[in-house]
Structure 1
Amino acid sequence: MTDSPSASSLIIGGAASSPRAPLPTLPPLALYIHIPWCVRKCPYCDFNSHTASPVLPEQEYVDALLADLDQDLHAVYGRELTSIFFGGGTPSLFSAEALGRLLQGVEQRIRFADDIEITLEANPGTFEQEKFVAYRKLGINRLSIGIQSFQQEKLEALGRIHNGDEAVRAAGMARQAGFDNFNLDLMHGLPDQSLDDALSDLRQAIALKPTHISWYQLTLEPNTVFWNQPPVLPEDDTLWDIQEAGQALLAEHGYAQYEVSAYAQAGRPARHNLNYWSFGDFIGIGAGAHGKLSHPDGRIVRTWKTRLPKDYLNPAKSFQAGEKSLSNDEMPFEFLMNALRLTAGVESRLYPERTGLSLDTLAEGRREAEQSGLLQVEPSRLAATERGQLFLNDLLQQFLN
């Protein structure tokens, strides 16, 4: 799950003096559940993940997750869940029994939509056919499989625990277990990667016929092994060639880009992702999980939970580490930073519906962004141009004083 950066120091033109109206309707509601353990911490990973002990505290952690959820229920009374996403870490380290008890507990507390999407992140090194059949029987109906590469040299450089054959088998096992909707997670711009290497990985992923492919460039993040001991990455010209050729290949095979790094077959975008990028609501439970909830009076509150698993499991400590109500100054940036990641953007009406602010608060920045060719000239939509998608930070700067 991607955490939104803080916009606390940003002042958006005109927003501070604009009154915020009560929200006419509350946005769709999702649930993010963080499972923080992995078999091994990857050197590029800056997510809240921790090397698992031989025996995971499944029972205690599920108890904590449900108690954590109980403390958020007052803010979502009467609403229903449209999606659930198990992220990590490696959620597939947990047994079907543990996840089943958790899902049953969640459904007892919040009504599930009839067509709810429930996604579980999984890594090929944790695939067992029997376990994934059991996951499917629980109602989990979508998998996100962390492949990253099919090439042994690249997998070793990334610190992955699986090999290319296991990655291929994982996709087949997912389908055999009854998952007709699954994502493959793939990186490019890997250490010493050539254009041919990157396209070979992408062709292999496409051959496995997933409904969704997350294809994104490796970046070096602070507080990671790669940040302190950077590998040799491809030059900018190679990265650009990979990006252009890869996007063309995905489009050729029917994978439409709907977000910066997300490509899906027709009708198969991730509902959880769409809700997140269109400024929908989500409860976040688990160690380090973030949430965002709208209230009828117009307040929009971001929350974050205690980060370290040992503290999260400590009854003497609070699940919630902090919360922040978004101010009028912050709201436009928060909304646009999410919505403009979608290649089609969002309908303009969504801005007042989701923020309680008038579209007039965007007027000056919108004109400048349109004139600079970064924002589409389309009154009914807020959407970046192709150039704006490449220079998203520059586009967002147009809305700052």
Structure 2
Amino acid sequence: MQQHTPIAAPATRALARTPLIPLVLIVSLFFLWGVANNLNDVLVAQFKKAFTLSDLQAGLVQSAFYLGYFLLAIPAGIFMRRFGYKAAVVFGLLLYGAGALLFWPAAATATYATFLLGLFVIAAGLAFLETSANPWVTLLGPRESAASRLNLAQAFNPLGSITGVLIGQHFIFTGVERTPAELAGMDAMARTAYMKSEAAAVQMPYLAIGLGVIAWAVIIVATRFPRTAAEDDGSDAAERGVLGRLPRDGRFMSAVLAQFFYVGAQVAIFSYMIRYAQATMPGTADKTAANFITAGLLCFMAGRFAGAALMKYLRPARVLGTFALVNVALAATAAIVPGSVGIYALVASSFFMSIMYPTIFALGVEGRSDAERKLGASLLVMSIVGGAVITAAMGATSDRFGIAHAMLLPMSCFVAISLFAWRRSGGGEAVA
């Protein structure tokens, strides 16, 4: 999944005692899954052209992707505990690469279902990477600098996200667009040729990504990593019974539900940002519309810094609730005032979404035992299936009522997040 923890400056002295090459290799993974996540936002628009899809059908890009996360999160955790961090990372990279390579035959046959299968396989690989890379980074060096290393690694995730959008904008979008009337006026051969050329535009970028990711897996296999204390202590006794307890814990499950709504809102907004811009500002080219996603991701990065600073003085739940309420207003603006005002409101919402995933995650595992944290982390990763459910629901709403009115769906998600935050804050006051 996408961005998880606030960004902070690393502790340079502590990092100097960390094995540098292994750390660089694992930190790079945060960049790689950022690329994959936000390339999907481009694919939604590209496949809509290539296969003349409805908004609901185009939204299946995200449904296939986040279903992979949902189904593989717990198996990835089991695999990691059985075979270790390195094996889980290598297996995740191989799945990621295999899914990307599936785009070549999918484009050659212009088969949408094969593209969706490729996306599912990519997401399955990313479930392994996210489940293993986050804790592994904290173990590659001194315990006192663990948080700094993880924050450093997370800084590369939004950079990957921006890179993914730029790859799509400049190497996938062809700049050739046909209106429904123009397509209807073409003969069958010309229309088929146009759609095949649009589908083929993804071949070379995903071939390069697939081969690059597999090469990275080979490098990791060939690199010697220090053995961690966690891998030396393989006892699972403390985890017995946790699986039965956590799903019955209302406090924990409220965090899982809030995470479901957050990821759903974020993915839906980014997935349909290009569609919204083109529908509400006629004449906007897809390459131009993609700039709004890039601007949103830059706002996301800025929000990370601002949110981290605010949390030095305010309780995290209070900041989360305030940011959620702001996004209720911004999403409502996009629904009520379509056009340039609405698109800038959606871009601004990225700033306030930035702290939501890590804050909800932290509130969910707060005060838990180590065993509960491990399983709780897997369940919270599974909750990002909201990206599949909410995005598909938003596509169906757009097909029936229009893309502007569909923004009421993420608005409702932010309402739910604000309620979760309010309950957790208990009207919390500023803290020193």
Q: TM (normalized to structure 1)?
A: 0.23
More strand by share: 1
Larger relative contact order (C-alpha < 8 A, sep ≥ 6)?
2
